[in-house]
């Protein structure tokens, strides 16, 4: 079983990204939160910044688009050569066409659902995606608490993946830390975003390994 830990750079120092990337060299990927101030009430950066990140990153970049009109923007991020591009079901017009556009540019395609979105919404399209992202906080900000009811959604998505698309990864994002990663893994997640839990630690690579070990031990 592969378990992946992807620190979110939302908690990094945006003017020292190269040093912060180096500080998480044990990561399986770096989670890059793109926010537009419309889909979520916060704003980060756009394609020029992600382009530079892609040039300096030594581990795969996992781009999480919390933006409106992902049908237009997602392929633009994929064209930068990033490992994966995940967009929100709630924001897109044609999820399947957008997934195919991302994949045609060589990136993996992901579909994200907010805490209030039912798992059934993505059942018919899940096989078009390389990963499903279950948000375990309301998107927009780092450092929030994990929403406990996300565990049932993770189990439900895991069951859908087993049924329709066994190669699809199940990613969870929001409030993941040492106290809850085992139960999230047990519910079926294999790919874990952790922002504040990693960046607040004085030993970031040690924290990444601890999270990975806890998730691995709990996964079945």
Catalytic residues: 33, 173
Please list every residue from 85 through 114 that binds ligand DX5, using CB under 6 A. Answer: none
Minimum CB distance to ligand DX5, residue 135 (Å): 7
Q: Which H or E element spans position 65? A: strand 61-66
**Contact status: 193 vs ligand DX5 (CB under 6 A):** yes
List binders of Zn ion among 114-153 (CB under 5 A). none
Q: What residues numbered 46-65 form the site for Zn ion, per CB under 5 A? A: 64
CB of 113 to Zn ion, least distance (A): 12
Is residue 188 close enough to count as binding ligand DX5 by CB under 6 A? no
Q: Is 64 in the site for ligand DX5 (CB under 6 A)?
A: yes
> Cβ contacts of residue 151 below 8 Å, gap of 6+?
183, 184, 187
Q: Which is nearer to ligand DX5, 96 or 147 (CB)?
A: 147
Q: How far apart are CA 70 and CA 50, in angstroms?
A: 16
Task: Decide whether 110 or 139 has the Cβ nearer to ligand DX5.
Answer: 139
On the 0-12 / 13-18 / 19+ scale of CB atoms within 10 A, 198 is: buried
Long-range contacts of 148-156 (CB under 8 A, 24+ apart): 149/115, 150/115, 150/174, 150/184, 151/183, 151/184, 151/187, 152/187, 153/113, 153/115, 153/119, 154/184, 154/187, 154/188, 154/189, 155/187, 155/188, 156/119
Q: Which of the ranges 49-57, 70-78, 95-103, 136-144 carries the binding residues for ligand DX5, by CB under 6 A? A: 136-144
- How many CA atoms within 13 Å lie on the side-chain side of 218? 19
CA distance 42 to 172: 20
Q: Is 185 in the site for ligand DX5 (CB under 6 A)?
A: no
Closer to Zn ion by CB, 36 or 173: give it. 173
Residues 111-130 that bind ligand DX5 (CB under 6 A): none
Choosing from 20, 33, 36, 190, the residue that interacts with Zn ion (CB under 5 A) is 33
Q: Is residue 33 a contact point for ligand DX5 (CB under 6 A)?
A: yes
Q: Which stretch binds ligand DX5 (CB under 6 A): 13-21, 103-111, 187-195, 210-218?
A: 187-195
Please choose, out of 43-51, 87-95, 115-123, 173-181, the segment that lies near Zn ion by the rule CB under 5 A.
173-181
Please list, in sequence order, all residues whose beta carbon lies within 8 angstroms of the beta carbon of residue 16, skipping any fewer than 6 positions away: none
Which residues of the chain form contacts with Zn ion (CB under 5 A)? 33, 64, 173
């Amino acid at each position: 079983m592969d378990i992946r830990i992807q620190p979110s750079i939302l908690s990094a120092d945006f003017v020292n990204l190269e040093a912060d990337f180096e500080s998480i060299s044990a990561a399986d990927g770096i989670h890059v939160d793109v926010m537009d101030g419309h889909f979520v009430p916060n704003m980060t950066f756009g394609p020029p910044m992600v382009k530079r990140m892609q040039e300096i990153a030594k581990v795969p970049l996992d781009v999480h688009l919390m933006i409106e009109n992902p049908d237009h923007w997602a392929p633009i991020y994929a064209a930068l050569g990033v490992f994966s591009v995940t967009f929100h079901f709630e924001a897109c017009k044609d999820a399947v066409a957008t997934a195919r556009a991302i994949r045609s540019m060589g990136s993996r395609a992901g579909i994200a659902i907010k805490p209030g979105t039912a798992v059934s919404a993505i059942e018919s399209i899940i096989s078009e995606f390389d990963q499903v992202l279950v948000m375990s906080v309301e998107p927009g900000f780092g450092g929030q608490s994990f929403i406990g009811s996300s565990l049932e959604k993770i189990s439900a998505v895991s069951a859908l993946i087993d049924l329709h698309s066994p190669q699809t990864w199940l990613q969870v994002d929001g409030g993941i830390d040492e106290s809850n990663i085992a139960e999230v893994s047990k519910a079926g997640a294999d790919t874990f975003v952790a922002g504040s839990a990693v960046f607040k630690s004085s030993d970031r690579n040690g924290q990444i390994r601890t999270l990975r070990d806890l998730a691995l031990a709990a996964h079945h």
